[in-house]
Structure 1
């Protein structure tokens, strides 16, 4: 490997190739790689070794260890690439949502009006806690710290407020 690294010795690399190519291929096949792919990966591994010969450090590993590590990593890269699904333009996840119906805005406005009316009938402290939880996205623990209330009190007030809202919204749906 020294001769390959220092002088780009093609004869030394040919000897290295002749010695390790069949061993790398056999190793890759033992790992479950099909023969044609194993041969391709072994060749790619040795090409990488040729290109990166200057980075080989005999104090860190033997030539065999270095080459087998390169081959193993090439196999892993290949497996990862194969596990990625092919792009399917007909995938339902890629189809845009249908445009909203013209009357959808009316439904949203009606629901918003009902919600505002129901919130106005709640005690101010419950509305405030709901705003902190849902609009400021604070956790119950953070609300308890901010409002200097026990955690159980925050939870029970929010639960009570939501129960009242549910009842009021169900009542407002009923035809008069």
Structure 2
């Protein structure tokens, strides 16, 4: 963000989001958060959902979903909901204790403003969970579950399998 460009400020009782004016002006405000998206969202779509949510309290989920369906798109407050406890088995690091997550910063309109966290199913290699949040507001996270289309040998689509309880 350049010093010539003052940040756009949006305040809520528990949130304060600072975004470059360039982003606020170019991103459309979303009227709805899709419950299901059977493709990965673009960086622009993700940013748009994350900056629009504060006008839609009903978008935030107050409790973690257990084994959300393929295509599920869910918004959580990271400070209030343990969204990673979703009932799926995710690939572990070599130590076997922690989930192996890939992390990266993403750009929208050339501005680095999103953080992404990707994890793969340990059972079905085509099933993924992606989590995104604004760098300037890490409290609100957009979580997307997607089974990238793949076919089993018999011609049926692959489906994620459930973990057995410990």
TM (norm. structure 2) is 0.19
TM (norm. structure 1) is 0.19
Bigger fraction of residues in helix: 1
Bigger fraction of residues in strand: 2
